[in-house]
Structure 1
Amino acid sequence: MNPSTTPPNAPLSAAGLILVGLLALSGWHPYDRATWLMEVAPVMIALPVLVATRQRFPLTTLLYTCIFVHALVLMLGGAYTYARVPLGFALQDLLHLGRNPYDKIGHFFQGFAPVLINREILLRGHHVRGRKMLAFLSVCVVLAISATYEFIEWGAALALGQGADEFLGTQGDPWDTQSDMFFALIGALAALTLLSRLHDRQLQRLIPP
Protein backbone atom coordinates (compact mmCIF):
# COMPACT_ATOMS: atom_id res chain seq x y z
CA MET A 1 0.00 0.00 0.00
CA ASN A 2 1.26 3.43 -0.89
CA PRO A 3 1.40 5.51 2.33
CA SER A 4 0.66 8.68 0.37
CA THR A 5 -2.76 7.30 -0.56
CA THR A 6 -3.91 6.61 3.00
CA PRO A 7 -6.02 9.18 4.87
CA PRO A 8 -3.85 11.54 6.93
CA ASN A 9 -3.41 10.63 10.59
CA ALA A 10 -3.81 14.13 12.08
CA PRO A 11 -7.46 14.70 11.05
CA LEU A 12 -8.38 11.16 12.07
CA SER A 13 -6.72 11.57 15.45
CA ALA A 14 -8.50 14.89 15.95
CA ALA A 15 -11.84 13.35 14.98
CA GLY A 16 -11.23 10.48 17.39
CA LEU A 17 -10.45 12.86 20.24
CA ILE A 18 -13.55 14.91 19.45
CA LEU A 19 -15.70 11.77 19.56
CA VAL A 20 -14.20 10.71 22.89
CA GLY A 21 -14.88 14.17 24.32
CA LEU A 22 -18.45 14.23 23.02
CA LEU A 23 -19.02 10.72 24.30
CA ALA A 24 -17.97 11.81 27.77
CA LEU A 25 -20.15 14.91 27.49
CA SER A 26 -23.19 12.88 26.40
CA GLY A 27 -22.73 10.63 29.43
CA TRP A 28 -22.21 13.42 31.93
CA HIS A 29 -25.88 13.77 32.88
CA PRO A 30 -27.93 11.65 30.46
CA TYR A 31 -31.68 11.44 30.87
CA ASP A 32 -31.41 7.73 31.68
CA ARG A 33 -28.03 6.14 32.38
CA ALA A 34 -28.94 2.60 31.30
CA THR A 35 -30.48 3.87 28.06
CA TRP A 36 -27.42 6.00 27.35
CA LEU A 37 -25.14 3.01 27.81
CA MET A 38 -27.17 0.84 25.45
CA GLU A 39 -27.45 3.57 22.80
CA VAL A 40 -23.76 4.53 22.73
CA ALA A 41 -22.45 0.95 23.01
CA PRO A 42 -21.79 0.81 19.22
CA VAL A 43 -19.57 3.90 19.52
CA MET A 44 -17.66 2.39 22.43
CA ILE A 45 -17.07 -0.75 20.38
CA ALA A 46 -16.29 0.95 17.06
CA LEU A 47 -13.71 3.46 18.31
CA PRO A 48 -11.18 0.89 19.63
CA VAL A 49 -11.70 -1.26 16.52
CA LEU A 50 -11.03 1.69 14.21
CA VAL A 51 -7.90 2.62 16.15
CA ALA A 52 -6.63 -0.97 16.14
CA THR A 53 -7.16 -1.42 12.40
CA ARG A 54 -6.03 2.05 11.30
CA GLN A 55 -2.60 0.96 10.06
CA ARG A 56 -3.32 -2.43 8.52
CA PHE A 57 -6.78 -1.68 7.14
CA PRO A 58 -7.35 2.09 6.79
CA LEU A 59 -10.77 3.07 5.52
CA THR A 60 -11.66 5.73 2.98
CA THR A 61 -12.10 9.28 4.18
CA LEU A 62 -15.75 9.10 3.11
CA LEU A 63 -16.36 6.10 5.32
CA TYR A 64 -14.60 7.63 8.32
CA THR A 65 -16.77 10.73 7.86
CA CYS A 66 -20.00 8.73 7.71
CA ILE A 67 -19.02 6.78 10.82
CA PHE A 68 -18.26 10.05 12.62
CA VAL A 69 -21.70 11.49 11.78
CA HIS A 70 -23.42 8.24 12.74
CA ALA A 71 -21.63 8.33 16.10
CA LEU A 72 -22.91 11.87 16.71
CA VAL A 73 -26.47 10.73 16.02
CA LEU A 74 -26.10 7.83 18.45
CA MET A 75 -24.59 9.95 21.22
CA LEU A 76 -27.24 12.65 20.95
CA GLY A 77 -29.97 10.01 21.11
CA GLY A 78 -28.29 8.40 24.08
CA ALA A 79 -27.97 11.66 26.02
CA TYR A 80 -31.62 12.68 25.69
CA THR A 81 -33.22 9.32 24.73
CA TYR A 82 -34.52 9.30 21.17
CA ALA A 83 -38.05 10.36 22.10
CA ARG A 84 -36.76 13.53 23.81
CA VAL A 85 -34.07 14.91 21.48
CA PRO A 86 -34.79 18.64 20.92
CA LEU A 87 -33.99 18.38 17.20
CA GLY A 88 -36.73 15.78 16.91
CA PHE A 89 -39.27 18.07 18.57
CA ALA A 90 -38.33 20.84 16.14
CA LEU A 91 -38.90 18.48 13.21
CA GLN A 92 -42.13 17.30 14.77
CA ASP A 93 -43.46 20.85 14.88
CA LEU A 94 -42.13 21.72 11.43
CA LEU A 95 -43.63 18.66 9.75
CA HIS A 96 -46.75 18.48 11.94
CA LEU A 97 -45.99 14.94 13.07
CA GLY A 98 -47.65 13.06 15.88
CA ARG A 99 -44.37 11.96 17.50
CA ASN A 100 -40.71 12.87 17.84
CA PRO A 101 -39.07 11.45 14.67
CA TYR A 102 -35.45 11.51 15.83
CA ASP A 103 -35.32 7.73 16.19
CA LYS A 104 -36.05 7.48 12.46
CA ILE A 105 -32.97 9.63 11.81
CA GLY A 106 -31.02 7.14 13.90
CA HIS A 107 -32.32 4.20 11.90
CA PHE A 108 -31.71 6.02 8.63
CA PHE A 109 -28.03 6.29 9.57
CA GLN A 110 -28.13 2.66 10.69
CA GLY A 111 -28.43 1.97 6.97
CA PHE A 112 -26.48 4.92 5.54
CA ALA A 113 -23.09 4.30 7.15
CA PRO A 114 -23.10 0.47 7.43
CA VAL A 115 -23.95 -0.05 3.75
CA LEU A 116 -20.72 1.76 2.82
CA ILE A 117 -18.79 -0.33 5.34
CA ASN A 118 -20.22 -3.49 3.75
CA ARG A 119 -19.43 -2.18 0.27
CA GLU A 120 -15.85 -1.33 1.15
CA ILE A 121 -15.17 -4.69 2.77
CA LEU A 122 -16.73 -6.64 -0.11
CA LEU A 123 -14.81 -4.66 -2.74
CA ARG A 124 -11.44 -4.64 -1.03
CA GLY A 125 -11.69 -8.33 -0.18
CA HIS A 126 -12.64 -9.14 -3.79
CA HIS A 127 -15.65 -11.05 -2.48
CA VAL A 128 -18.01 -9.72 -5.16
CA ARG A 129 -17.38 -8.71 -8.76
CA GLY A 130 -20.74 -7.69 -10.19
CA ARG A 131 -21.94 -4.21 -9.22
CA LYS A 132 -25.58 -5.25 -8.92
CA MET A 133 -24.70 -8.15 -6.65
CA LEU A 134 -22.43 -5.84 -4.65
CA ALA A 135 -25.29 -3.43 -4.01
CA PHE A 136 -27.72 -6.25 -3.25
CA LEU A 137 -25.46 -7.94 -0.71
CA SER A 138 -24.49 -4.64 0.91
CA VAL A 139 -28.16 -3.83 1.47
CA CYS A 140 -28.91 -7.37 2.69
CA VAL A 141 -26.25 -7.04 5.39
CA VAL A 142 -27.76 -3.71 6.45
CA LEU A 143 -31.18 -5.32 6.83
CA ALA A 144 -29.62 -8.17 8.79
CA ILE A 145 -27.96 -5.65 11.13
CA SER A 146 -31.24 -3.76 11.49
CA ALA A 147 -33.14 -6.97 12.29
CA THR A 148 -30.48 -7.95 14.84
CA TYR A 149 -30.83 -4.55 16.51
CA GLU A 150 -34.59 -5.10 16.76
CA PHE A 151 -33.89 -8.48 18.38
CA ILE A 152 -31.69 -6.69 20.91
CA GLU A 153 -34.49 -4.22 21.63
CA TRP A 154 -36.91 -7.12 22.05
CA GLY A 155 -34.50 -8.83 24.46
CA ALA A 156 -34.10 -5.61 26.43
CA ALA A 157 -37.87 -5.26 26.68
CA LEU A 158 -38.22 -8.81 27.98
CA ALA A 159 -35.35 -8.40 30.45
CA LEU A 160 -36.12 -4.91 31.74
CA GLY A 161 -39.89 -4.71 31.32
CA GLN A 162 -41.14 -1.13 31.52
CA GLY A 163 -37.59 -0.01 32.19
CA ALA A 164 -36.80 -0.59 28.52
CA ASP A 165 -39.34 1.96 27.25
CA GLU A 166 -36.74 4.70 26.84
CA PHE A 167 -34.46 2.37 24.89
CA LEU A 168 -37.25 1.11 22.65
CA GLY A 169 -38.55 4.60 21.86
CA THR A 170 -41.72 3.27 20.23
CA GLN A 171 -43.81 6.22 21.50
CA GLY A 172 -46.95 4.10 21.19
CA ASP A 173 -46.40 3.17 17.53
CA PRO A 174 -47.38 -0.50 16.95
CA TRP A 175 -45.43 -0.52 13.66
CA ASP A 176 -42.26 0.98 15.08
CA THR A 177 -40.13 -2.11 14.42
CA GLN A 178 -41.15 -2.31 10.77
CA SER A 179 -40.69 1.42 10.16
CA ASP A 180 -37.26 1.30 11.85
CA MET A 181 -36.10 -1.33 9.38
CA PHE A 182 -37.67 0.54 6.49
CA PHE A 183 -35.74 3.71 7.38
CA ALA A 184 -32.53 1.68 7.54
CA LEU A 185 -33.33 0.44 4.03
CA ILE A 186 -33.94 4.01 2.84
CA GLY A 187 -30.62 5.09 4.34
CA ALA A 188 -28.77 2.26 2.62
CA LEU A 189 -30.33 3.00 -0.77
CA ALA A 190 -29.66 6.72 -0.38
CA ALA A 191 -25.97 6.14 0.41
CA LEU A 192 -25.51 3.81 -2.56
CA THR A 193 -27.30 6.19 -4.91
CA LEU A 194 -25.53 9.36 -3.79
CA LEU A 195 -22.07 8.19 -2.79
CA SER A 196 -21.09 5.09 -4.79
CA ARG A 197 -19.08 7.01 -7.39
CA LEU A 198 -17.27 9.09 -4.78
CA HIS A 199 -16.62 5.92 -2.80
CA ASP A 200 -15.14 4.24 -5.88
CA ARG A 201 -12.81 7.17 -6.53
CA GLN A 202 -11.54 7.16 -2.97
CA LEU A 203 -11.04 3.41 -3.05
CA GLN A 204 -8.94 3.76 -6.20
CA ARG A 205 -6.73 6.34 -4.48
CA LEU A 206 -6.51 4.27 -1.31
CA ILE A 207 -5.50 1.06 -3.06
CA PRO A 208 -4.22 1.69 -6.59
CA PRO A 209 -4.57 -1.24 -9.05
Structure 2
Amino acid sequence: MDNGNILKAMLVAIVSAALIVSGIAPYERLTWLMEVAPVLIALPLLLVTRKSYPLTTLLYLLIAVHALVLIGGGAYTYARVPFGFWLQDLLGTVRNPYDKLGHLLQGFVPALVAREILLRGAYVNGRRMAGFLCICIALAISASYELIEWAAALWMGQGADEFLGTQGDVWDTQSDMFMALIGSSTAIALLSGWHDRQLSRLRSA
Protein backbone atom coordinates (compact mmCIF):
# COMPACT_ATOMS: atom_id res chain seq x y z
CA MET A 1 0.00 0.00 0.00
CA ASP A 2 1.49 3.36 -1.08
CA ASN A 3 1.54 6.49 1.04
CA GLY A 4 -1.54 7.92 -0.64
CA ASN A 5 -3.63 4.86 0.12
CA ILE A 6 -2.34 4.74 3.69
CA LEU A 7 -3.41 8.36 4.18
CA LYS A 8 -6.85 7.67 2.72
CA ALA A 9 -7.31 4.65 4.98
CA MET A 10 -6.30 6.75 7.98
CA LEU A 11 -8.78 9.47 7.02
CA VAL A 12 -11.60 6.94 6.74
CA ALA A 13 -10.69 5.48 10.14
CA ILE A 14 -10.51 8.91 11.82
CA VAL A 15 -13.80 10.14 10.38
CA SER A 16 -15.57 6.85 11.13
CA ALA A 17 -14.31 6.81 14.71
CA ALA A 18 -15.32 10.44 15.25
CA LEU A 19 -18.76 9.73 13.82
CA ILE A 20 -19.30 6.75 16.10
CA VAL A 21 -18.09 8.57 19.23
CA SER A 22 -20.20 11.64 18.44
CA GLY A 23 -23.29 9.49 18.16
CA ILE A 24 -22.96 7.86 21.57
CA ALA A 25 -24.33 10.75 23.61
CA PRO A 26 -24.85 13.87 21.47
CA TYR A 27 -26.36 16.98 23.03
CA GLU A 28 -29.56 16.50 21.04
CA ARG A 29 -30.13 13.35 18.97
CA LEU A 30 -32.21 14.82 16.13
CA THR A 31 -29.84 17.76 15.74
CA TRP A 32 -26.90 15.36 15.61
CA LEU A 33 -28.58 13.35 12.87
CA MET A 34 -29.37 16.43 10.81
CA GLU A 35 -25.85 17.85 11.18
CA VAL A 36 -23.99 14.64 10.32
CA ALA A 37 -26.37 13.65 7.50
CA PRO A 38 -23.91 14.89 4.80
CA VAL A 39 -21.21 12.66 6.31
CA LEU A 40 -23.54 9.68 6.43
CA ILE A 41 -24.21 10.19 2.72
CA ALA A 42 -20.72 11.13 1.52
CA LEU A 43 -18.66 8.52 3.39
CA PRO A 44 -20.33 5.43 1.86
CA LEU A 45 -20.38 7.14 -1.56
CA LEU A 46 -16.65 7.87 -1.45
CA LEU A 47 -15.90 4.30 -0.36
CA VAL A 48 -17.97 2.83 -3.19
CA THR A 49 -16.39 5.08 -5.85
CA ARG A 50 -12.80 4.94 -4.58
CA LYS A 51 -11.75 2.69 -7.49
CA SER A 52 -14.15 3.69 -10.25
CA TYR A 53 -13.73 7.44 -9.64
CA PRO A 54 -10.86 8.11 -7.22
CA LEU A 55 -10.36 11.69 -6.12
CA THR A 56 -7.14 13.58 -5.53
CA THR A 57 -5.51 13.13 -2.16
CA LEU A 58 -5.94 16.87 -1.53
CA LEU A 59 -9.68 16.58 -2.00
CA TYR A 60 -9.98 13.52 0.23
CA LEU A 61 -8.09 15.40 2.94
CA LEU A 62 -10.32 18.47 2.68
CA ILE A 63 -13.49 16.38 2.70
CA ALA A 64 -12.26 14.63 5.87
CA VAL A 65 -11.60 17.96 7.60
CA HIS A 66 -15.05 19.20 6.63
CA ALA A 67 -16.60 15.96 7.89
CA LEU A 68 -14.90 16.37 11.27
CA VAL A 69 -16.22 19.94 11.59
CA LEU A 70 -19.75 18.70 10.82
CA ILE A 71 -19.40 15.87 13.32
CA GLY A 72 -18.22 18.26 16.03
CA GLY A 73 -21.19 20.52 15.38
CA GLY A 74 -23.52 17.55 15.54
CA ALA A 75 -22.12 16.24 18.81
CA TYR A 76 -22.23 19.52 20.76
CA THR A 77 -24.49 21.70 18.52
CA TYR A 78 -22.64 24.53 16.81
CA ALA A 79 -23.31 27.08 19.55
CA ARG A 80 -21.69 24.83 22.20
CA VAL A 81 -18.57 23.40 20.52
CA PRO A 82 -15.63 23.95 22.93
CA PHE A 83 -13.23 24.83 20.10
CA GLY A 84 -15.67 27.57 19.13
CA PHE A 85 -15.53 29.08 22.61
CA TRP A 86 -11.72 29.10 22.34
CA LEU A 87 -12.04 30.92 19.02
CA GLN A 88 -14.51 33.32 20.58
CA ASP A 89 -12.00 34.24 23.29
CA LEU A 90 -9.18 34.48 20.76
CA LEU A 91 -11.07 36.64 18.26
CA GLY A 92 -13.17 38.58 20.77
CA THR A 93 -16.45 37.78 19.00
CA VAL A 94 -19.83 38.17 20.69
CA ARG A 95 -20.92 34.62 19.79
CA ASN A 96 -19.41 31.19 19.31
CA PRO A 97 -18.02 31.38 15.72
CA TYR A 98 -17.78 27.61 15.12
CA ASP A 99 -20.85 27.83 12.88
CA LYS A 100 -19.03 30.33 10.68
CA LEU A 101 -16.07 27.96 10.40
CA GLY A 102 -18.50 25.33 9.14
CA HIS A 103 -19.92 27.68 6.51
CA LEU A 104 -16.42 28.77 5.47
CA LEU A 105 -15.67 25.12 4.72
CA GLN A 106 -19.08 24.76 3.09
CA GLY A 107 -17.69 27.08 0.41
CA PHE A 108 -14.05 25.97 0.52
CA VAL A 109 -14.53 22.22 0.03
CA PRO A 110 -17.43 22.11 -2.47
CA ALA A 111 -15.55 24.59 -4.69
CA LEU A 112 -12.66 22.12 -4.98
CA VAL A 113 -15.06 19.20 -5.48
CA ALA A 114 -16.74 21.10 -8.31
CA ARG A 115 -13.37 22.04 -9.81
CA GLU A 116 -12.23 18.42 -9.84
CA ILE A 117 -15.40 17.23 -11.54
CA LEU A 118 -15.49 20.06 -14.08
CA LEU A 119 -11.84 19.76 -15.10
CA ARG A 120 -11.66 15.97 -15.15
CA GLY A 121 -14.80 15.74 -17.25
CA ALA A 122 -13.69 18.60 -19.52
CA TYR A 123 -17.06 20.25 -18.94
CA VAL A 124 -15.55 23.72 -19.14
CA ASN A 125 -12.60 25.25 -20.96
CA GLY A 126 -10.25 27.63 -19.20
CA ARG A 127 -9.11 27.76 -15.60
CA ARG A 128 -10.63 31.19 -14.96
CA MET A 129 -14.08 30.15 -16.12
CA ALA A 130 -13.76 26.95 -14.08
CA GLY A 131 -12.89 28.99 -11.01
CA PHE A 132 -15.85 31.30 -11.52
CA LEU A 133 -18.28 28.41 -11.97
CA CYS A 134 -16.89 26.61 -8.92
CA ILE A 135 -17.57 29.66 -6.75
CA CYS A 136 -21.09 29.86 -8.21
CA ILE A 137 -21.68 26.17 -7.45
CA ALA A 138 -20.43 26.56 -3.88
CA LEU A 139 -22.77 29.51 -3.36
CA ALA A 140 -25.67 27.52 -4.83
CA ILE A 141 -24.95 24.73 -2.35
CA SER A 142 -24.80 27.26 0.49
CA ALA A 143 -28.13 28.78 -0.57
CA SER A 144 -29.69 25.32 -0.80
CA TYR A 145 -28.52 24.55 2.72
CA GLU A 146 -30.10 27.77 3.99
CA LEU A 147 -33.37 26.67 2.37
CA ILE A 148 -33.06 23.36 4.20
CA GLU A 149 -32.59 25.27 7.46
CA TRP A 150 -35.68 27.35 6.65
CA ALA A 151 -37.70 24.18 5.99
CA ALA A 152 -36.46 22.73 9.29
CA ALA A 153 -37.53 25.88 11.10
CA LEU A 154 -41.02 25.66 9.61
CA TRP A 155 -41.28 21.95 10.40
CA MET A 156 -39.79 21.91 13.90
CA GLY A 157 -40.50 25.41 15.18
CA GLN A 158 -38.35 26.19 18.22
CA GLY A 159 -37.06 22.63 18.11
CA ALA A 160 -34.92 23.68 15.14
CA ASP A 161 -33.00 26.31 17.14
CA GLU A 162 -30.04 24.02 17.85
CA PHE A 163 -29.83 22.98 14.19
CA LEU A 164 -30.04 26.56 12.94
CA GLY A 165 -27.42 27.83 15.38
CA THR A 166 -28.31 31.48 14.77
CA GLN A 167 -27.52 32.48 18.37
CA GLY A 168 -29.87 35.45 18.04
CA ASP A 169 -28.21 36.85 14.90
CA VAL A 170 -30.92 38.16 12.54
CA TRP A 171 -28.36 38.29 9.69
CA ASP A 172 -27.16 34.73 10.22
CA THR A 173 -28.33 33.50 6.81
CA GLN A 174 -26.58 36.28 4.93
CA SER A 175 -23.35 35.96 6.91
CA ASP A 176 -23.39 32.17 6.40
CA MET A 177 -23.50 32.65 2.63
CA PHE A 178 -20.83 35.36 2.82
CA MET A 179 -18.54 32.93 4.64
CA ALA A 180 -19.18 30.37 1.88
CA LEU A 181 -18.21 33.02 -0.68
CA ILE A 182 -14.99 33.75 1.19
CA GLY A 183 -14.22 30.04 1.53
CA SER A 184 -14.83 29.18 -2.12
CA SER A 185 -12.89 32.20 -3.40
CA THR A 186 -9.97 31.42 -1.09
CA ALA A 187 -9.88 27.78 -2.15
CA ILE A 188 -9.75 28.69 -5.85
CA ALA A 189 -7.18 31.43 -5.33
CA LEU A 190 -4.79 29.46 -3.10
CA LEU A 191 -5.14 25.80 -4.07
CA SER A 192 -5.72 25.75 -7.84
CA GLY A 193 -2.04 25.21 -8.66
CA TRP A 194 -1.63 22.42 -6.11
CA HIS A 195 -4.90 20.89 -7.29
CA ASP A 196 -3.74 20.98 -10.93
CA ARG A 197 -0.56 19.08 -10.05
CA GLN A 198 -2.53 16.43 -8.21
CA LEU A 199 -4.98 16.11 -11.11
CA SER A 200 -2.02 15.57 -13.46
CA ARG A 201 -0.65 12.78 -11.26
CA LEU A 202 -4.12 11.23 -11.05
CA ARG A 203 -4.42 11.19 -14.85
CA SER A 204 -0.96 9.63 -15.17
CA ALA A 205 -1.84 6.90 -12.69
Preserved contact between residue 114 and residue 134 of structure 2 (Cα < 8 Å): yes
* Unmatched runs of 5 consecutive residues or more in structure 2: none
- In 2, the alpha carbon distance for the partners of 1:8 and 1:92 equals 36
Gaps of 5+ in 1: none
Asked whether 1:144 is paired with 2:140, we answer: yes
8 A contact 1:112–1:190 mirrored in 2 = yes
8 Å CA contact 1:70–1:109 kept in 2: the answer is yes
Q: Which residue identity is paired with 2:157?
A: G
Identity among equivalent positions (%) equals 64
RMSD: 1.6
Equivalent residue for 2:96, pick from 100, 107, 119: 100
Aligned to 1:50: 46
1:37 paired to 2:33:
yes
SS in 2 for 1:55: coil
Q: Are 1:111 and 1:183, in contact at CA under 8 Å, matched by a contact in 2? A: yes
Do the aligned partners of 1:7 and 1:60 also contact (CA within 8 Å) in 2? Answer: no
Moved over 6 A (4+): none
Say how many residue pairs are matched: 205
Residue 110 of structure 1 corresponds to which residue in structure 2? 106
Q: Does 1:183 align with 2:171?
A: no
Paired residues for 1:145-160 under 5 Å:
145-160=141-156
SS in 1 for 2:176: helix
1:7–1:54: structure 2 CA closer, same or farther, 3 Å change rule? Answer: farther
Q: Compute the displacement of 1:131 (Å).
A: 1.5
8 Å Cα contact 2:11/2:61 also seen in 1: no
Counterpart CA distance in 2 for 1:112 and 1:8 is 22
Query: Following TM superposition, by how much is the alpha carbon of 1:7 offset from its aligned partner in structure 2, in angstroms?
Result: 7.6
Q: Give the partner amino acid of 2:162.
A: E
Q: Which residue of 2 aligns with 1:27?
A: 23
- Is the CA contact 1:108–1:184 (under 8 Å) kept in the aligned structure 2? yes
> Could you tell me which residue of structure 1 aligns to residue 170 of structure 2?
174
Q: Which has the higher contact order (CA 8 A, sep 6+)?
A: 1
Instruction: Establish whether residue 83 from structure 1 lines up as the match of residue 89 from structure 2.
Output: no
Could you tell me how far 1:14 is from its partner in structure 2? 2.7
Q: Output the CA distance in 2 between the equivalents of 1:7 and 1:34.
A: 38
TM-score (norm: length of structure 1): 0.94
For the pair 1:67 / 2:90, whether they are aligned, the reply is no
